Every structure is written in C-alpha cells, then in structure tokens.
C-alpha cells in the first residue's frame, strides 16, 4: 500500500509543479518591445490560474481597476519571481522516471524532492501575492475579499456544470 500512496503523492506533486509552471508564462506575456502586455490573468482552466488556491488573486486583478503604474509594478514583480523560479528549477523533471516507478531505488528520494519543490513553490507564490498585495490601494484591498468570494462561486458553478455534463458527482 505504501508504494501506491507514493505514486499518488509523486504524481500529485509533479502535476502541481507543472500546473504552476504553465501559469506563469501566461501571466507574464510581454510584447516584442519587452513592455507589459495587457493583464489577462484568468484564462487558464487548471492549476493556480484556473481554479486552484494559488493564483486566485491573479485571477481577479483585472476587476480591481489597476492603474497603469500598478500594472507595471505587478508585471515587474511577476517577471522577477519567474526569473528566480526558473533559476531554482534545477532538477524539476529529472526525477520523473523515479517518480513514476515505485520499484526505482530513487523513488522515495524523488517523491521527497518533489514534495519539497512543491512546498517551496507554494511559499514562493504566497510571497509574490504578498508583494502584489502591497501594490494595491486601500480601496482595492477592501474589495479583494468579495472578488475572491465571487471567483470561488464562479469556479464552484463551473465545476458543478462540468460534473452535470459528465454525469458524475463532485
């Protein structure tokens, strides 16, 4: 049973890392001159930018009425974080073979490494959101909880609709 749980944990960690990695390029889109592109934060369908807890703040950025200066500040924060995350990526998927094979002698170490990377990614994301929160005005900060509650309702409704279409239950 232990090996089966290791597969689930390892696969979950890999999926979490891949989902987070897929989020950032969309959030950091820039035009050919290097200027920040329009902030289209919410167009993903999974992971942090499409329903996960991480990245919820990014999904409601367009609803906060950010000034151009705030957009630029946020773009710079995200771009800097992305550079740091890419530099720290290192082994990333090099553990994939061991993660997917419980018989691999490196499986347990690969699972632990994936857990550590996933925890660090969550902390890094939280740190970034704290920095972004610091860019928001008092009014924007006051509106954020309601916008996040509305987002949660929309995500829940979409999930329910999807499950209804699939004939399954959540």
Domain ranges, ordered by start, for the chain? 2-159
pLDDT (0 to 100) of residue 82: 87
What is the pTM for the complete model shown? 0.61
55-59, 130-134, 152-156: which range is least confident on average? 55-59
pLDDT for 41? 42
- Give the C-alpha separation, 107 to 119, whole Å: 18
* CA gyration radius, the chain: 18
Q: Compute the distance between CA of residue 114 and CA of residue 89 in angstroms, rounded to an integer.
A: 11
Residue 15 has pLDDT above 90, yes or no: no
Give counts: helices (H), strands (E), the chain.
Answer: 6, 0
- pLDDT of residue 103 exceeding 90, the answer is yes
Q: Is the predicted pLDDT of residue 149 greater than 90, yes or no?
A: yes
The predicted pLDDT at position 61 comes to 87
Mean pLDDT (the chain) is 73
21-51 pLDDT, tens digit per residue, is: 444 334 333 333 333 334 444 333 343 334 4
pLDDT of residue 26: 40
pLDDT at 20 over 60: no
Average pLDDT of the residues in 9-26: 43
Segment 95-101 shows an average pLDDT of: 86
Mean pLDDT of 51-78: 85
């Amino acid at each position: 049973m232990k090996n089966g749980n290791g597969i689930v944990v390892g696969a979950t960690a890999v999926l979490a890392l891949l989902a987070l990695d897929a989020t950032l390029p969309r959030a950091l889109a820039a035009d050919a001159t290097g200027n920040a592109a329009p902030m289209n934060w919410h167009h993903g369908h999974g992971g942090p930018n499409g329903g996960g807890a991480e990245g919820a703040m990014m999904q409601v950025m367009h609803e906060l009425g950010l000034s151009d200066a705030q957009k630029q500040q946020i773009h710079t924060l995200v771009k800097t974080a992305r550079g740091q995350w890419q530099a720290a990526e290192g082994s990333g998927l090099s553990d994939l073979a061991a993660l997917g094979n419980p018989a691999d002698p490196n499986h347990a170490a690969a699972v632990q490494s994936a857990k550590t990377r996933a925890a660090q990614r969550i902390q890094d994301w939280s740190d970034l959101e704290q920095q972004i929160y610091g860019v928001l005005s008092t009014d924007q900060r006051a509106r954020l909880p309601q916008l996040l509650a509305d987002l949660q309702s929309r995500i829940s409704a979409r999930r329910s609709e999807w499950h209804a279409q699939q004939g399954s239950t959540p």
